[in-house]
Structure 1
Amino acid sequence: MIRILHIVPNMQAGGLETLIMSWYRNIDRSKVQFDFLVHYQGKFFYDDEIERLGGKIYYLSVRDDNNFIKYLHDLDSFFKEHREYKIVHGHMESLGQFYFRAAKKYGVPVRIAHSHNSATEPTLKGKVKGILAKGFPKYATHCFACSELAGQFMFGDRDFTVIKNAIDLSRFQYDAKIRTKMRAELNLTDKFVIGHVGRFCTQKNHKYLIDVFEQIHKRNSNAILLLIGKGELLEEVKAYVAEKSLAGCVQFLGVRDDVNKLYDAMDVFVFPSIFEGLGIVAIEAQESRLMTVCSDVVPKEANVTEYYKAISLQESPEKWAESICKYANGYEKKDVTDKIRNAGYDIKKSASMLQQFYQGVLTE
């Protein structure tokens, strides 16, 4: 058995973490096993499942205590002790040069730098992380990216391989019975339901989404907005909703393990990110036969069905609202599974390809 060490912030329920878990569930775990080096103390959404599947989780504390000197010491100690890892798959750009350097020092032959974004947040923290991320490929032996845009952003002229953010197609197929059930449970039976899934951070552009929803609600007082996820800007967004007097028609649902069912309850999925590596939730929403309205900075690889529409962030919230409200009276729900599979987003095929890479790269 090959044990792969994935290096991540933590295993909370986000796009990156969901992707890794989808790979993990679909690989042959008698041949390839995943372990995780995380950067926060505490218990996170996927930890129990990882342990059930046979994985190990190692906890560092740098994101809690910001003690960088201790972090470098901890990395050195970890790779000195854990000589069993021959493949390290890194998903944290800003700290990559440090953990890959330690891995190289202690003889890890395969060090994969995986780019998941096409920009950094326009904040001081984002700018610092962007500067640090320039060193991400320095000690890497292989470069992966979730899209051409994400690869070009992170690796420039260096060769990289696009590994698409695939999904479990069977899990996200539309089910009319589930739609009826979920809408009844959430008191949405007669509502025009707008949905969004994403961490509450600058990248996901929640305040602009609230501005758009304000205009939707002016046009259609039956409109409801479902916000799924959590993050550092959650309370700020809640305050903004209250400021707009929209608290009665915006529901904050937190982190959920039934997002596939919530897609069925929605009428339109809105995704106004200021940048994205790919936007895996846009693929999930389309597989759910859900009209998916995205900002035009979302990479073109996410546009795989007739349920996708891109709008510029330079357009006004009124223009976004006008486009979204066109779907208030419903639309035909056609099966698009073959289109999404043919575009390369089938997790079974993706996991198989990744497993073959892991098994083959050590014999090169």
Structure 2
Amino acid sequence: MAKDHIDPVEALRQNTALPFEQARAMPPEVYTTQEFHDQELEAVFAKDWYCVGRADGLANPGDYTTCELAGQPVLVMRDRDGVLRGLSNVCLHRMSTLLHGRGNARSIVCPYHAWTYNLDGSLRGAPAMKLNEGFCKDQYKLPKIRCEEWLGWVFITLNQEAPAVAEQLAQVNDMIAGYDMTNYTEAFYEEHVWDTNWKILAENFMESYHLPVCHAGTIGGLSKLDDMVCPPGLPAFNYHTILKDESLRIAMAHDSNTRLKGEERRTTFLLALYPSLLITLTPGYFWYLSLHPKGPGQVHIRFGGGMSDDYKDDVDAPQNFAELKALLDDVNVEDRGCTEKVFNGLSSTLAKPGHLSHLERPNYDFSQYLMARIDENMVT
């Protein structure tokens, strides 16, 4: 039995009109319809900042990563002067995409006709073009995409009017200053595609209410609901905190860290930087997910992590982190199972959103952000 058509934007508007004390989960149509997917590409991903990873993962001249942002193929590359550049990843000849995945290149060579670009996007050479009287090599340069670094993260946006990342996230910077997040070094980076909606995975990160059950086989037994604090979010992000114990030493502040005091030394921040950068930040290590939708039913995931440089000289730190990475992989298997089950359930004709727990305050703030972005886009 097919569902009657419901305008997903209007359904979300009615949903977000309620105060948090009466709030429910977002309506199924927000996750499952092409109609809402198209709205969020235009209003969210084409307008806000998207994170492509850590700057130290692109440390050397020629290091690059690629992505598709709201339908636009984008290339981020460190040039010969050490500057990170965002560029269109589309050849200016017959419009093939240029580079793919992540790697290092001495130049940007089109895989179709070998038009070759320098690392700054200028055209270096184009075979067999001398007989075209209108061709002038100097007139060709790959269009720039805004690219900014913030605390070691690399962000891009298609929106020339978007406020600077540092401006939007100034309150995050103040809140976690003692962690010195710039000086965390990435130890692994992977990309995955899961069969769920990107918002389901984002919300899964935003609340730790699910930890005792979804993660019963891994970290669930260490997750104490009473230790979770979920304050109201802010316009550009939400967060919650968890207190860790000494059982995982690299989650604690290093003895050399005099920046963090008292309970700060064992506090983990779970930061959701809108729209889709999700960071678990402990005093000793971090891991992150950067999400982009692939239609309503799939999400592309950039997954990475590493350690605070405070630990870089500790002999046992690499082994401790290797054990942590193995644990994170097991946690991801559990999260994938849970979030794909949620998407299957949302696709049911009988699916109706239930009331939120006080531990799901970040989810409520996320829905408010989405609604605000869509309304702003409708006005402009």
For normalisation by structure 2, the TM-score amounts to 0.29
Higher relative contact order (Cα pairs below 8 Å, separated by 6+ residues): 2
Structure with more strand by fraction: 2
Between structure 1 and structure 2, the one with the greater Rg is 2
